[in-house]
Amino acid sequence: MTPASAHPALRLQAITKRFGDFAALDGVDMSVSSGSIHAVLGENGAGKTTLMNVIYGLYQPDAGVISLHGRPVSVSNPKAARSLGLGMIHQHLMLVDSLTVVENVILGLDPWAPTLSLKRHRERIRALSDEFSFDIDPDVEVWRLPMGMRQRVEIIKALYNDADILILDEPTSVLAPSEIGFLLEGLERLRAAGKTVLFITHKLDEVLAVGDRITVMRQGRVSAETAVADTSAREIARMMVGRDVLFQFDKIRTEPGAVRLETRNLSATDNRGIRALKDVSIQVRAGEILGVAGVDGNGQAELAETICGLRQPDAGEVVLNGVVANDMSVAQRRHEAHLSFVPEDRQGVGLVLDFSVAENAGLRDYSRKPFARNGILQRRARQETAKRWVDKYDVRLRSVDQAIRFLSGGNQQKLVFAREVECDPDILVVMQPCKGLDVGAIQAVQDTVLAQRAAGKAILYISTELDHLLDVCDRVAVMCAGRVTGVLDAAEADPERIGLLMTGSTEDTAA
């Protein structure tokens, strides 16, 4: 009898999954070695998340075989997956914010004991946290934790269920740069403990840093497989999108025009009643991109929301095209001040998930031509507009009439971006516009941002990805604890200097 260690931890043979006439997965073969970190890469809509959902029992394959440690298995649902030693950490974390860590970890445990001993569960959570250096307090409410800590809670949940194989879907898409390194170190510790890690990512540097092997998917099929040691970032990008990808952008020097967007001593509180913005003053001129850098949670979201009318300021002014906009509604800012907003939370703020792609395309201007005439919604206009944007921005889907929740996260982001850019705004506020996008889509988004700059738009570009900021921005404002600690010319900004400003050090520079 062959020992189990001789078999791969996970083997997929001819996995096929169809949604109607659309083949999301078409005969996928993949082998993942025990005790390895195996990355799954591909363009948005390539089938990566669908494949992970099949492995974890959220979807049932139409054909094919899943084997764990050499034994074919049937993964009928996530409960069955957990009993087989599979754990999954989703891109959008599955935690109840109002509950404590220990309550989240034991939620849904089966079978329940006649009496619930929180003390015993706390002790085991602390032991797992210590073993993997996660530094988790079992008694803290989840809403109080930064995103990186919440993700560690998800990993603890999987380990608590004795997961041997951990699936992570875009694990760093919700993390600040300072948290990414800790996660990658955590993956290495999991590998050292004999766990098998299967993770989806678009970030090639992460793959090269910790990965052992790579599987590349295109259009529902495996297009390439290689050892990390035998490839490079440029070659991986070529395998993902089928062409060479530019990692630098041509930023033509321009002379900025009139001030289009200004904040004057702006202050605001967050949802917990804590002061999140403190006397923030910035200016963005026509034909200029001002980047906003900072560790996530230092007031960037509140700045964008206050500018766009989603949050009321406690003090100070928002000025759009020379007009104080504090009393303007969201609709007035959009249609009278010609402001557009690409939000960070595409699913919660940017889209209605149960609406179709076409309906979401018309959301911004649903009451205006061509989407409405004489108060009557124009279905054909929405469809034709959506089809045009789908072609222009390479959104992968079956039909513009399908619910947008069934698109990959990256393709959802492309549609939000198209909707906010195609209305020809004067002012464009974008927050994490490349979040969850593959390298080819990032290139397209950055090219579009630069094209908007060349067309004379004033662009406020908020991102925790320093390389994305420095690729396109003219100046970079750095935020820490709700304040602007410095504004640098992009040509003079470097990660070390920006990092110092992120810690609260200040420079005598006015925005």
Q: Does an H or E element contain 446, and which? A: helix 439-454
At 505, is the pLDDT very low, low, confident or very high (cuts 50, 70, 90)? confident
* Helical segments of 211-251, H only: 233-241
At 340, is the pLDDT very low, low, confident or very high (cuts 50, 70, 90)? very high
Report the pLDDT value the prediction gives residue 1, as an integer from 0 to 100. 32
62-71, 112-121, 251-260, 460-469 — most confident range: 62-71
Report the pLDDT value the prediction gives residue 81, as an integer from 0 to 100. 93
| pLDDT, mean of residues 481-485 | 91
Cα 287 to Cα 450: distance, rounded to the nearest angstrom: 9
Going by the DSSP 8-state scheme, the letter that residue 5 receives in this structure is G
Give percent of the chain with pLDDT exceeding 70: 93
Residues 6+ apart with CB under 8 A from 266: 277, 279, 280, 281, 303, 306, 313, 315, 316, 317, 318
Q: Phi then psi for 345, rounded to 5 degrees? A: -90, 85
Q: Phi then psi for 447, rounded to 5 degrees? A: -60, -40
Domain 4-241 classified CATH 3.40.50.300?
A: yes
Q: Phi then psi for 16, rounded to 5 degrees? A: -130, 135
Length of the chain: 511
Q: pLDDT tens across 292-329, in order?
A: 998 777 899 999 999 999 999 999 999 999 999 999 99
pLDDT at 54 over 90: yes
226 burial via Cβ count (<10 Å: 0-12, 13-18, 19+): middle
Residues 6+ apart with CB under 8 A from 305: 268, 311
Q: Report the mean per-residue pLDDT for the chain.
A: 87
Sign, CA dihedral 477-479-484-485, equals negative
What totals of helices (H) and strands (E) does the chain contain, helices first?
A: 16, 22
At 94, is the pLDDT very low, low, confident or very high (cuts 50, 70, 90)? confident
User: At CA 261, angle to CA 255 and CA 264, rounded to 5?
Assistant: 120
CB 310 within 8 Å of CB 301: no
Report the pLDDT value the prediction gives residue 3, as an integer from 0 to 100. 40
36-45, 69-78, 150-159, 166-175 — most confident range: 69-78
126-140, 328-342, 392-406 — most confident range: 328-342
Q: pLDDT tens across 235-258, in order?
A: 887 887 766 655 556 677 778 999
Sign, CA dihedral 112-148-199-342, equals positive
Angstrom CA distances, 223 to 41, 52, 55, 215, 510, stand at: 10, 17, 19, 8, 50
Report the pLDDT value the prediction gives residue 178, as an integer from 0 to 100. 66
Give percent of the chain with pLDDT exceeding 90: 48
Cα 331 to Cα 50: distance, rounded to the nearest angstrom: 37
- Top pLDDT among 263 and 237 is at 263
| pLDDT, mean of residues 117-143 | 87
Q: Phi then psi for 235, rounded to 5 degrees? A: -70, -40
Question: What's the CATH number of domain 259-338+424-502, 1.20.1370.10, 3.40.50.300, 3.20.20.20, 3.30.30.10?
Answer: 3.40.50.300
CA 237, 58, 349, 19: dihedral to nearest 10 degrees? 70
118-122, 196-200, 494-498 — most confident range: 196-200
- 400-426 burial, b if ≥16 CB within 10 A, otherwise e? bebebebbbbbbbbbbbbbbbbbbebb
CB 387 within 8 Å of CB 400: yes
CB 68 within 8 Å of CB 84: yes
Query: What are the boundaries of each domain within the chain?
Result: 4-241, 259-338+424-502
293 burial via Cβ count (<10 Å: 0-12, 13-18, 19+): buried
Report the pLDDT value the prediction gives residue 149, as an integer from 0 to 100. 83
pLDDT at 73 over 50: yes
Q: Of 134-138, 204-208, 448-452, 493-497, which range is least confident?
A: 493-497
Q: Do domains 4-241 and 259-338+424-502 have the same CATH topology?
A: yes
At 2, is the pLDDT very low, low, confident or very high (cuts 50, 70, 90)? very low
- Top pLDDT among 120 and 286 is at 286
The strand order across the sheet containing 22-32 reads 22-32, 10-19, 63-68, 71-73
Report the pLDDT value the prediction gives residue 172, as an integer from 0 to 100. 77
Beta pairing class for 288-293 and 458-462: parallel
Residues 6+ apart with CB under 8 A from 11: 30, 31, 32, 66, 67, 70
Report the pLDDT value the prediction gives residue 344, as an integer from 0 to 100. 85
Report the pLDDT value the prediction gives residue 174, as an integer from 0 to 100. 66
Q: pLDDT tens across 362-418, in order?
A: 988 888 888 888 888 888 989 999 999 999 888 888 889 999 988 877 788 889 989
Residue 394 Ramachandran class (φ > 0 left, ψ -120 to 50 alpha, else beta): left
The secondary structure of 409-428, three-state, reads HHHHHHHHHHHHHCCCCCEE
Report the pLDDT value the prediction gives residue 378, as an integer from 0 to 100. 87
Residues 6+ apart with CB under 8 A from 206: 39, 172, 180, 184
